[in-house]
A and B are shown apart, each in its own frame.
Chain A
Amino acid sequence: MIALLIRDLRLAIRAGGGFGLGLAFFLIVIVLVPFGVGPERAVLTRIAPGMLWVAALLAALLSLDRIFALDHEDGSLALLATAPLPLEGVVLVKAAAHWLTTGLPLTLAAPVLGILLNLSPEATPWLLASLGLGTPALSMIGAFGAALTVGLRRGGLLLSLLVLPLYVPTLIFGAEAVRRGAEGLTALPSLALVGGVTAGCFALLPFAAAAALRVNLR
């Protein structure tokens, strides 16, 4: 499992593409927001938590189809399926690698971009915590969506249609935590719910994703 994780991380970093692209996309979306809604600081402060979450979510979406597609094309996915490591474990590792290359950088970049949107300083720790807890769920759900669409030639658009509705609970709880943090309310319940969604995703979705992969490899 660890070998697979290291291999995936290396591929993601050296082959270019996914790693920096998601971050750049995140930056551009956040820069575009003030152009769209106007530069008033009060307005930006109000919408900052939600915009940061939505932008992070879209940035995570970008690289989802790469989770399995490349391995499917060159046949290494079939090899992984016959390996002694159960396919559920492969899914878990793939999702973890995706998180390490997109979710984690997005989380770390978010506070900096928060300054651009005039996010209130009290909210920054909550932003870090909620993105840190929530983006693994995005990766895991995305891995499930990628497993469903791996056999399709133009699966990218379909993938987003399938995955985005599944992102709703994570987004609601995550953005709510930051908003409550920004208003000085207690954000812990929302944060706990984000953690709950993530834990549930990691417990259950590998089985669904592995089942989908088996069907696609048939």
Chain B
Amino acid sequence: MSIWEYANPKKFMGWTRPVLPWLWALAVACIVTALVWGFFFTPDDYKQGSTVKIIYIHVPSAMIAINAWFMMLITSLVWIVRRHHVSVLAAKAAAPVGAAMTVIALFTGAVWGEPMWGTWWAWDPRLTSFLVLFLFYLGYMALWAAIEDADTAADLTSVLCLVGSVFAVLSRYAAIFWNQGLHQGSSVFRAGRPDSVAEVFYLPLMLSIAGFILLFLALVLMRTRTEIRLRRASALEARMRSA
């Protein structure tokens, strides 16, 4: 059986129905365990004190914020090439989730930055590119909302997503060129290096990341199901009106 068969809306609804409760349960279990573990059973950092614990929300949400856009890029490409409706609806469903994760990452970053850097906000390349990413999410969602015809909206937002991806990457490197950063480099996926996160923080962090990925999947699948139902409802309405 080919993977493309899952793009059939009926089949998609079929397999997501039993999978979703499990996804939700796993996501909640992972996040709750990771946060309780991280907040109460890991020591304070010798320099940052207990503020280091923001990492359990900050890093996973930031990762999801970026990867949600990548997912939208891929599903938009699939829509343009193979014209599977579920694919583009998944991109539409992922956008608000990605935007919310961007806001969470920016907010937790500000809360963390205030005691550590002495400022809520700095025009640091990472922070700036996240703000720009948030604007891209807003533009993408606004374009979806503005166009009435569903297929036109799908095509145009997909083109926007492709072009936006190029410019998002470009903005990232432009921002590095523009200003030196205050934000540290990545310290998560570099086991054994001296600048890596210590072991005690590492395990709950991984669990939290897994939980956020599961949460993202659950939210996107649920929202995609809603979109498919909306499509069906509007198709029914159109048929009733013409009948």
A76: CB under 8 A from chain B? Answer: no
Q: Smallest CB-CB separation from A196: which chain B residue?
A: B170
Q: Hey, which chain A residues are within 8 Å of B162, CB to CB?
A: 208
A contact residues, range: 20 to 34
B136: CB under 8 A from chain A? Answer: yes
B contact residues, range: 20 to 34
Contact pattern, A 133-161, Cβ under 8 Å of B = 1, otherwise 0: 00000000000100011011001001001
B160: CB under 8 A from chain A? Answer: yes
B178: CB under 8 A from chain A? Answer: yes
Residue of B132, B147, B159 touching A165 (CB-CB under 8 A): B132
Which of A33-41, A51-59, A168-176 is the contact stretch?
A: A168-176
A193: CB under 8 A from chain B? Answer: yes
CB pair B139 A212 closer than 8 Å: no
B198 to chain A, nearest CB (A): 36
Contact pattern, A 108-151, Cβ under 8 Å of B = 1, otherwise 0: 00000000000000000000000000000000000010001101
Q: Hey, which chain A residues are within 8 Å of B177, CB to CB?
A: 172-173, 176, 190, 193
Within 8 A of A (CB), among B140-163: 142-143, 146-147, 152, 155-156, 159-160, 162-163
Q: Tally the A-B contacts, defined by beta carbons under 8 Å.
A: 73
A197: CB under 8 A from chain B? Answer: yes
Could you say which of A144, A165, A211, A212 has the most chain B C-beta atoms within 10 Å of its C-beta?
A165
CB pair A215 B156 closer than 8 Å: yes
CB pair A161 B138 closer than 8 Å: yes
B174: CB under 8 A from chain A? Answer: yes
CB pair B139 A161 closer than 8 Å: yes
Contact pattern, A 193-206, Cβ under 8 Å of B = 1, otherwise 0: 10001000000110
A62: CB under 8 A from chain B? Answer: no
CB pair B146 A152 closer than 8 Å: yes
B52: CB under 8 A from chain A? Answer: no
Residue of A158, A168, A193 touching B143 (CB-CB under 8 A): A158
Q: Hey, which chain B residues are within 8 Å of A21, CB to CB?
A: none
Residue of A144, A155, A173 touching B174 (CB-CB under 8 A): A173
A162: CB under 8 A from chain B? Answer: yes
CB pair A166 B142 closer than 8 Å: no
CB pair A161 B142 closer than 8 Å: yes
B51: CB under 8 A from chain A? Answer: no
A81 to chain B, nearest CB (A): 15
CB pair A208 B135 closer than 8 Å: no
CB pair A168 B174 closer than 8 Å: yes
CB pair B163 A197 closer than 8 Å: no
B175: CB under 8 A from chain A? Answer: yes
Complex: how many Å from CA A148 to CA B156?
Answer: 6
Q: Smallest CB-CB separation from B179: which chain A residue?
A: A172
Given contacts A173-B177, A176-B177, contact A148 B159 (CB under 8 A): yes
B16: CB under 8 A from chain A? Answer: no
CB pair B167 A165 closer than 8 Å: yes
Residue of A152, A158, A176, A211 touching B159 (CB-CB under 8 A): A211
Q: Which residues of B contact A (CB under 8 A)?
A: 132, 135-136, 138-139, 142-143, 146-147, 152, 155-156, 159-160, 162-164, 166-167, 170-171, 174-175, 177-178
Q: Which residues of A contact B (CB under 8 A)?
A: 144, 148-149, 151-152, 155, 158, 161-162, 164-166, 168-169, 172-173, 176, 190, 193, 197, 204-205, 208, 211-212, 215-216, 218
